[in-house]
Amino acid sequence: MDKPLDQIEFETMLLGRHMSLLTSRGGERLDRSAYILLSRILAEGPMSIGQLRDAFGLDTSTLNRQTAAMLRAGVVERIPDPDGGIARKFAITEEGERRLANDRSENLTGLGKLLADWTPEEATQLADCLARLNRDIERLDGRPWPRD
């Protein structure tokens, strides 16, 4: 594996696998889809199934299953469209915010342990490269993620 593209493909595949190993899986951890959907709803505010479909490129049936599970877990609630539209929207609940914050904190703790021997410059370089990679993916996909 001497080609950079081969190495990047291999390493990103492993990264996806290893990220789940950084944290304990005990307790009430959100599943991956709920974590991602809640993160987007927290960033953008309440979203309809159509808005989630557009944001993620997922089909409606998949989103209906995922949001139904999230409703049962009490991490989202359906609300009338605050802008007066017909479609109801999914809003994050206090329980959803609490669980998302707990999971994010656990993720950060795991990353902190992993990067404990890295210099601040190395950690910043990694963060910058990952942000650039994600922005370029989003540009090609046409679905940018909201950022500060």
pLDDT of residue 12: 87
> Helical H runs in 1-148?
4-19, 32-44, 49-56, 60-73, 94-114, 120-141
Residue with tokens 């991956």: 32
Q: How many Å apart are CA 111 and CA 114, to the nearest integer?
A: 5
Length of the chain: 148
Nearest to 51 by CA among 75, 85, 74, 77: 85
Question: What does each C-alpha distance from 35 to 41, 67, 75, 85 come to in angstroms?
Answer: 10, 12, 10, 26
Instruction: Please give the helix or strand (H or E) that residue 77 lies within, else none.
Output: strand 76-79
Rg of the chain, C-alpha, whole Å: 17
Record the tokens describing residue 66, joined without a space: 């995922």
Domains of the chain and CATH, by start: 28-141 (1.10.10.10)
Whether residue 39 contacts residue 100, with contact meaning beta carbons closer than 8 Å, is answered with: yes
**71-127 pLDDT, tens digit each:** 999 999 999 988 888 889 999 999 999 999 999 999 899 899 999 999 999 999 999
Q: Could you give the CA distance from residue 104 to residue 102 in angstroms, rounded to a whole number? A: 5
Q: pLDDT-derived band of residue 2, with 50, 70 and 90 as boundaries?
A: low
pLDDT bucket at 139, cuts 50 / 70 / 90: very high
- Mean pLDDT over the full length of the chain: 91
Higher-confidence residue: 11 or 122? Answer: 122
SS3 51: helix
Query: Is this prediction's pTM over 0.75?
Result: yes
Do residues 19 and 61 lie in contact, with contact meaning Cβ atoms separated by under 8 Å?
A: no
Flag whether pLDDT at 41 surpasses 90: yes
